């Protein structure tokens, strides 16, 4: 279990976008150049406007689907260290989960 931050994901968009779109028919050098010029911390709304959609900055809770700034990441870790099925939950949903536990105590 670990906490994840939307800002970390947004800061990595220029690198990930470049890896995804540098070759062949999907060359997007104009967008890559604009993304790489952005100051850190990178503003998610600016990234969305450059790319034209929110898919690269979306940071959604797997339970309520809200786009939030922080998520708890819980993964099934296999004996060999690889991660299996996982879930990302917002604070609101973890609080709701805790209320369910409290009802049991």
Positions in the binding site for Zn ion (CB under 5 A): 61, 63-64, 90, 93
Are the C-beta atoms of residues 55 and 10 closer than 8 Å to each other? no
Residue identified by tokens 């099934």 is 76
Q: How far is the CB of 71 from Zn ion (least distance, A)?
A: 8
Residue 55 CA to residue 14 CA, distance in Å, equals 13
C-beta of 7 vs 63, nearer to Zn ion: 63
Q: How far is the CB of 19 from Zn ion (least distance, A)?
A: 29
C-beta of 42 vs 61, nearer to Zn ion: 61
Structure tokens at 33: 């150049």
User: How many Å is the Cα radius of gyration of the chain?
Assistant: 17
C-beta of 10 vs 61, nearer to Zn ion: 61
């Amino acid at each position: 279990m670990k906490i994840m931050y939307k800002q970390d994901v947004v800061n990595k968009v220029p690198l990930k976008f470049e890896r995804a779109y540098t070759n062949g028919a999907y060359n997007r050098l104009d967008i890559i150049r604009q993304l790489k010029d952005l100051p850190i911390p990178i503003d998610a709304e600016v990234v969305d406007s450059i790319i034209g959609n929110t898919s690269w900055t979306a940071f959604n809770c797997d339970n309520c689907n809200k786009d939030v700034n922080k998520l708890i990441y819980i993964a099934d870790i296999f004996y060999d260290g690889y991660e299996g099925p996982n879930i990302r939950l917002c604070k609101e949903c973890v609080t709701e989960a805790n209320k369910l536990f409290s009802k049991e105590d």
